Homo-oligomer: A and B are copies of this chain.
């Protein structure tokens, strides 16, 4: 086999792609340098020409995931002026992203990122925080335009929005694709949309609570 020599930029992309693809069925735990190298068509040692260590590689993977998720927010905002419609499109786009690449899900939930170096955990938290900030921003714009209720702070609604996605994607991965995320999204969105525009403090529901 003649060895091809490619620029380090191209190789870095290939390596990150291979890592993400391997996470799909092996998880972050089963992600070995040998497996990545095999998928790229490499000897394991060649990876070290393009990344100083496995940690640096994982950081790069995390960065790529961040770009994709934040890109989804930007794209959704760019497509429409209506904040509520932007959220609906973001939901759709986010689901599509997860469906196209299961490894993405692993990155967000795997304990190698949740534990491991505290520094990397911090970066993952930053990823979530950035995403939630973006969503909260859209929500605040909706509140300004009186399309979204004012009596709940935007950040809490943003976490709730994430709740439309996360359990569905977990079930989807766990069931090996048998859980219908699209149907769940279709059922969940109208409910969430109603919640956004609901009248603050409806008189009936509050009185029905048991105590205090």
Contact = CB atoms under 8 A, between A and B. Distances in A.
A125 interface: yes
Interface residues of A, number: 60
A37 interface: no
Nearest to A118: B176
Contact of A164 (B124, B160, B183, B208): B160
Report which residue of A165, A188, A194 has the largest number of chain B beta carbons within 10 angstroms of its beta carbon: A194
5 contacts: A27-B111, A121-B174, A157-B191, A162-B167, A163-B167
A82 interface: yes
Contacts of A210: 80, 82, 85
A166 B165 CA distance: 10
Contacts of A35: none
Contacts of A27: 111-112, 114-116
B85 A209 contact: yes
A173 to B, nearest CB: 6
10 tightest A-B contacts by CB?
A163-B163, A27-B111, A27-B115, A156-B187, A162-B167, A125-B174, A109-B109, A110-B111, A166-B166, A191-B195
Contacts of A74: none
How many copies make up the complex? Answer: 2
Chain A binding site: helix, strand, loop or mixed by DSSP?
A: helix
Contacts of A191: 152, 157, 160, 195, 198
B159 A171 contact: yes
A85 to B, nearest CB: 5
Contacts of A204: 197
A161 to B, nearest CB: 9
Interface in A172-210: 173-176, 183-184, 187-188, 191-195, 197-198, 202, 204-205, 208-210
